[in-house]
Every structure is written in C-alpha cells, then in structure tokens.
Amino acid sequence: MTEHHEPPRAVVVTSDAKMALAQEIVVGPHRLRADEPASLGGADSGPTPYDLVLAGLGACTAITVRMYAARKGWPLDGVTVTLRHEKIHAADCADCETRSGFIDRIDKTIAFTGALDAAQRARLLEIAGKCPVNRTLKSEVEIRDRLVD
C-alpha cells in the first residue's frame, strides 16, 4: 500500500441538481460515479457510497495479501474478497462495546487460489485483517467538516 510513501490525493465529489442523487467522483486521473438505487430515489447509475467503502476495503485486503505472499515467495495465484454491509441491532453483537441502537457489520469472505498449505492460508487470512483500510475502519476516525466558498 502507498499509505506512507505518497502524499494523500484529494478525492473530489461533485453533485448538481441535474444529476438527482448521482455524484461525479474524480481521483487524480480517475473518474467514477456514485448513486443510490431507484428504490431510494436514485438512478442506480453507479455504486452506492457504502459499495465504494466496501470496494476500498476489499481492494486493500487483496493488495495487502498479494504483497505479503509475493514477499514470502508463496504460490498465491488469486484472491477474491466478497463483502456485505448491514446495520444490525447492537444487542445482537456479542463482541461489541455498543449495547443499544444499531451498529454497522461488514462480512468479508476471502478465497485464495494457488498451491498454498493450511498454515499459509491461515497466515494470509490473518494478514488480510491487517490491511490499512481495515485498521482505519476499526479505529477512531476524526472527520473535520469545513465550509469553503
């Protein structure tokens, strides 16, 4: 990951009345769109904001695992990360500090392909949970909102 080696890039999200709920996203040379499904008033012209969060987590997980396996010289041919997000009652989470209201749950399943032994697969699963985005989502995050002209 490039988290410590390159300055942070700005992600610019633009919305206007003509686009309804759709958002244009620009990150360096990359352009993409976010939207909401029709059932929520959008046109489903792109992934939802939560889809994009999951995509970032999944990409970080796969990159981290591939980099680790390459460094070790392990025969990892491929990684598939499948993620789902839902809101659950805090009372339904035995390991959570929050006891009331709702919390976010992300289920992440990982499949490895390649001639890996059981110990290598277990270690890669452990490494998958240490990707930088995973750690960010599990840590305290400060978000500062500022109005500019």
Question: Which amino acid is located at 90 in the chain?
Answer: A
Under the banding of pLDDT at 50, 70 and 90, the label for residue 4 is low
Q: In what order do the strands lie in the sheet with 11-14?
A: 11-14, 23-27, 30-34
Q: Which of 3-7, 36-40, 137-141 has the lowest mean pLDDT?
A: 3-7
Under the banding of pLDDT at 50, 70 and 90, the label for residue 123 is very high
Mean pLDDT of the chain: 91
Domain ranges of the chain: 9-46, 48-138
The pLDDT of residue 2 is 45
Q: Read off the pLDDT of each residue in 70-87 and give the average, rounded to a whole number.
A: 96
> What is the CATH number that goes with domain 48-138?
3.30.300.20
Is the pLDDT confidence value at 47 over 90?
A: yes
